[in-house]
Structure 1
Amino acid sequence: MSKPSIPLKVLIPVLAMLSAFAPVATDMYLPGLSLMTEVFQTTTGRVQATISVFFLGLAIGQSIYGPLIDRFGRKPPLLVGVGLYVLASLACMWVTDIGWFIAMRFLQAVGGAAGMLIGRAIINDLFDRTETARVLSLMMMVIILAPILAPIAGGWLVVNVSWQSIFAVMLVFGVVCLLLVVFLIPETLPPGHRQELGFGRVVHTYAQLLTRPAFAIPALCGALAQSCMFAYITGSEFVFTQLYGLSAQQYGWLFALNAAGIIVATNGNRFSLKRWPIERIFTAALVANAVFAAALVLLVGSPSLWWFVLPLWLLIGTLGFIGANAAAIAMSASGRTAGSGSGLIGVMQFGIAFAVSSTVAATQNGTAYPMALTMLVCSTAACVLWFGTRRRMATVSG
C-alpha cells in the first residue's frame, strides 16, 4: 500500500464528490417528478422509468470502467466519464421528448459511474481492508450530504425557478468535479501493476471474482440490502406527496431527514470498527435491516405519517453500517484486480437497483405496498444469503 500524495482531508472530500454523482442526479429531481409528468405529458410510470434507466446506466458503466482502469490506470477513464456526465447533463436541460430525456439520463449515468467506481479503486490502492472501511465511512459522511441537500435544493428550484434549473446545477457540479480531477486526483496504479485488456481476459477476471465466495457473497449481500434505498428513491415521492399530501418542498425536507439517518449510522460505523470485527458489524446491520423492513410493511396504510416514517428512517440508517463494510470485505478479496472488483460491485449494486426500481414502478397500485414489500424481499434475501453461506466462506478462506 502506498501513501496518498495529497492529504486525506483533501482526497476524501474530492473522491466523495465524485461518488456523489448518483445521489445528486437522482435525489435532486425527485421533488419534480409530478411536474415532469405534466411537462412531458406522460404517465407517472414513464417518468419513474427515468430513475430505473439511470440505475441501469450506472450498472453498465461500471462494468465498462472496471477493466479499463486496471489497464489504463485510474485517472484517464475518470476524466472521460466525468466529461460524459457533464455533456449529458447539458442535454437533459434542452430535450422536450420523454424518450430522448430517458436516453440522456442513461448517458448521464454511464458517465457518473466512473466517479463512483474509481473512487473505491483508488482507496483500495492506498489502504488495507480495515482502513479502507474507515475511509469509506468517512467518504459516506460527505457523500450523504448529497441526498440531504439535493432534494431540499431540488424542491426549492422546482417551486421557484424551473425543473431545467436542477440539471443546470448538475452541470455546474460536474464541471467542478472535472477540474478537481485534472488538478488534484493522483494516479494510484503504477504501470507495472496494470493488467492486459482483452474481452477474454475481462470475462475471465469477472468469472474468477464471481466464483470467489470471499468476494461475491459480501458484494451480493450488500447490493441486496442497499437496494432498499433504490426502492425508496423510486416510490417515496408518490407515497409522500400523493398519499400523505406533502408538497414538493416538504417532501424534500422529509427525504433529507431520512438520509440524515445514514450520517448517524456511518459515524457509528467508524467507531464500531475500532471495537468489533467488520464481519460482526455487517451481520448485525443485515439483521436490523430486515427487522425494520418487516415493521415498515406492517405499518403500510397507517394514517400517521410519523409512524410510517419511523421504521423507514431506521431501515435507511442501517445502510450506513452495510455499504462501506460490504465493499471493504469484498474488495479485500479482489487482489490485483481491484478495478474489476470495484466495477463488479457496482454492477451488482445497480443491476439489482434497476430491477428493484423497475419493479416498484411497474407494480404501482396506489398504495405504499410496492415500495415496502420490495424492501422486505431484498433485505430478507440479503440475510438468507449471508447466513446460509458464512460457513462456506470460512471453509474456503481457511
Structure 2
Amino acid sequence: MPAAPPPAPGADPGRGAGRRRRTAVLVLVLATLTATGPLATDLYLPAFPVIAEDLGSTEAQIQLTLTAIMLGMAVGQLVIGPLSDALGRRRPLLVGVAVFALASLACMVVPSAGVFTGLRFVQGVAGAAGAVISRAVVRDMFEGDDAARFFSRLMLVTGLAPLLGPVLGGQLLRVGPWQLSFAVLAAVAVTSWVVVFFGLPESLPSGRRRPLRARSLAQTVGGLLRDVRFIGPALTLGLSFGAMFTYISSFSFVSQNEFGASAQQFSLMFAVNTVGLLLGTQVNAYLIGRVETPRRLAGGLTGMLAAVAVLGVLAAAGVSGAWALPVLTAVFWTLMFSVGFVFPNATTLAISSQSPSVAGTASALMGSMQFALGGGLSSLAGMTATGQASLASMAVVMSGIAVAAAAVFAVTARRAARTAA
C-alpha cells in the first residue's frame, strides 16, 4: 500500500480520501504498538526514589531496572524480527503483547530489586515485538520519501508516550503507590492486543516470507553488517539514542537530588522537552521533498552536538540551584528537537536500503543495536564515586556519544557515496 498521492484529474476523490483514512488508521495502530516501549521506560521515572525506598535498595539498583528493559528489548528484537520474516507479522506481535501484559502485572508484586530487574528484562523482550514489527510493516508498505513521511507521522503519535509518561507517572503518585504505573502498562498492553487483533492485517504474504534457518539467518545478518548503507545509519541511530537515553535515565535523579526539583516539576520539564521531539519530527516531515534525507540527518546531528557542548559548559561551571532548571530545560529541549530529525531519517536510510523480505531482520538488528547502546551507554552516567549520576557525568557521557554518532555518520556516508559512484 503506497502512500496516497493527490488525486489525478478525473480520479475519484472518495478513493483518495479512503486511502488517506486507511493510512491514518495504520499510523494509529502502529503508533500504539511503538509507544508501548517508551511508555514502559518513562512512566515510572518520577517514582525512582520512592521505589528505591520501598524495596530497600539503592538508586543505582533501581536505575538498573531501566537498563534491564532496554537490554531486553535489544535481545527480543533479535529474536522476534527474524520470526516475523518467517511467520508473518501478526502472530509474533500478538504473543509479544500478551506476555508484556503479564509481565507488567507481575511487576506490581515484586519483593526485591533483583526480581524487579529480572521482570523488567522479560517485559523488554516481549515489548520488543511492537517496536521491531512496526518498522517492518512500514517497510512492507512504503519506500523512500513515503517511508520517511510515515515515520515522521509515526513519531508524532509515538512521541506522546514519552511526553505523557512522566507526567502521568507523577500524577499517579498523588493518587496511589508506584505499582499503579504497572497496572496502567498492563491496561495499555491489553488495549494494544485488541487493536492489533481487529485492526492490523497481515502485511507480509506467505510468498514473501523467508524460512527461519540458522545458516540463512547468519548470512542475512552478515550481509547487513557489511552493508555500509545499513550499518552507518543504524549505528548513528543507536548512538543518538544512547545520548537521549542518558538524559532520560539520569535526569530524574539529577533534577530532584542535585537541583531540588519535585517529582511533578521533573515531569513538567520532561514533558516540555518531549514537545521539542515532536516539533522536530514535524519540521523534518515538512522538509521532506525539499531537503535530502542525509542532509536532514546531518542537521539533526549538528543540533545534538551544539546541545551537549552547552551542557558541558554548564557542568564545568558548576551550575546549581533551582534557577538552573529552566536553562537545563532549554538545553535538553534543543537536544530532543535535534533527535526528532535524527531518528526518522536514520531509520529510513537503514531500512529503505534493504528489500522487504529481510525487513524484519534488518529492523531487529537496528533496534537491538539501538536499545543495547542506549541501555549500556546510559548506565555509564551512574558510574561515579557516589554511585549516582550527576550533571557532570551526564555531560561527559552524552558529549562522547554525540561526537561518536556524528563521526560514524560522516565516515559511513562518505563510503556509501563512493560505493554508489
TM-score > 0.5 by shorter chain: yes
SS of match in other structure, 1:96? coil
Q: Is 1:355 equivalent to 2:371 in the alignment?
A: no
Q: 2:136 aligns with which of 121, 138, 148?
A: 121
Matches of 2:117 and 2:128, distance apart in 1:
17
Q: Which residue of 2 aligns with 1:256?
A: 271
Q: Which residue of 1 aligns with 2:345?
A: 325
SS of match in other structure, 2:109? coil
SS of match in other structure, 2:260? coil
Tell me, yes or no, if the aligned pair for 2:140 and 2:204 is still in contact at 8 Å: yes
Matches of 1:209 and 1:227, distance apart in 2:
21
Q: 1:297 aligns with which of 306, 312, 328?
A: 312
Distance change (3 Å), C-alpha of 1:272 and 1:365:
same
Q: Which residue of 2 aligns with 1:112?
A: 127
Q: Which residue of 1 aligns with 2:71?
A: 56
Tell me, yes or no, if the aligned pair for 2:167 and 2:271 is still in contact at 8 Å: yes
Tell me, yes or no, if the aligned pair for 1:234 and 1:360 is still in contact at 8 Å: no
| Correspondence 1:72-87 to 2 at 5 A | 72-87=87-102
After the TM superposition, which segments of 4 or more aligned residues of structure 1 sit over 4 Å from their partners?
A: 1-6
Structure 2: gaps (5+ residues): 5-18
In structure 1, what residue type is equivalent to 2:391?
A: A
Q: What is the CA RMSD across the aligned residues, in angstroms? A: 1.4
Matches of 2:240 and 2:110, distance apart in 1:
35
Tell me, yes or no, if the aligned pair for 1:49 and 1:361 is still in contact at 8 Å: no
SS of match in other structure, 2:353? coil
Q: 1:38 aligns with which of 50, 53, 58?
A: 53
Q: Deviations over 1:278-316 (max 9, x none)?
A: 111111111221121111111123232222222221012
Tell me, yes or no, if the aligned pair for 1:228 and 1:316 is still in contact at 8 Å: no
Q: Which residue of 2 aligns with 1:380?
A: 403
Identity value in percent: 37
Q: 2:366 aligns with which of 326, 345, 348?
A: 345
Tell me, yes or no, if the aligned pair for 2:381 and 2:390 is still in contact at 8 Å: no
Q: Deviations over 1:248-286 (max 9, x none)?
A: 111111111111100111110100113111111111111
Q: Is 1:146 equivalent to 2:167 in the alignment?
A: no
Matches of 2:138 and 2:32, distance apart in 1:
14
Q: Is 1:370 equivalent to 2:393 in the alignment?
A: yes
Tell me, yes or no, if the aligned pair for 1:226 and 1:322 is still in contact at 8 Å: no
Cα offset, 1:21, TM superposition: 1.3
**Computing the radius of gyration over CA atoms, which structure comes out larger, 1 or 2?**
2
Count matched residues. 398
Distance change (3 Å), C-alpha of 1:200 and 1:48:
same
Q: Deviations over 1:316-374 (max 9, x none)?
A: 21110010110100001121311101101101100101211221233345631222211
Matches of 1:234 and 1:24, distance apart in 2:
13
Q: Which residue of 2 aligns with 1:226?
A: 241
In structure 1, what residue type is equivalent to 2:407?
A: V
Q: Is 1:316 equivalent to 2:328 in the alignment?
A: no
Tell me, yes or no, if the aligned pair for 1:302 and 1:308 is still in contact at 8 Å: no
Tell me, yes or no, if the aligned pair for 2:65 and 2:120 is still in contact at 8 Å: yes
SS of match in other structure, 1:7? helix
The TM-score, its normalising length taken from structure 1, stands at 0.97
In structure 1, what residue type is equivalent to 2:395?
A: A
Q: 2:103 aligns with which of 80, 88, 92?
A: 88
Distance change (3 Å), C-alpha of 1:306 and 1:146:
same
Q: Is 1:306 equivalent to 2:330 in the alignment?
A: no
Cα offset, 1:2, TM superposition: 5.8
Q: Which residue of 2 aligns with 1:195?
A: 210
Matches of 1:215 and 1:140, distance apart in 2:
21
Tell me, yes or no, if the aligned pair for 1:240 and 1:246 is still in contact at 8 Å: yes
Greater CA deviation, 28-37 or 278-287? Answer: 278-287
Q: Which residue of 2 aligns with 1:184?
A: 199
Q: 2:176 aligns with which of 161, 177, 180?
A: 161
Matches of 2:242 and 2:157, distance apart in 1:
20
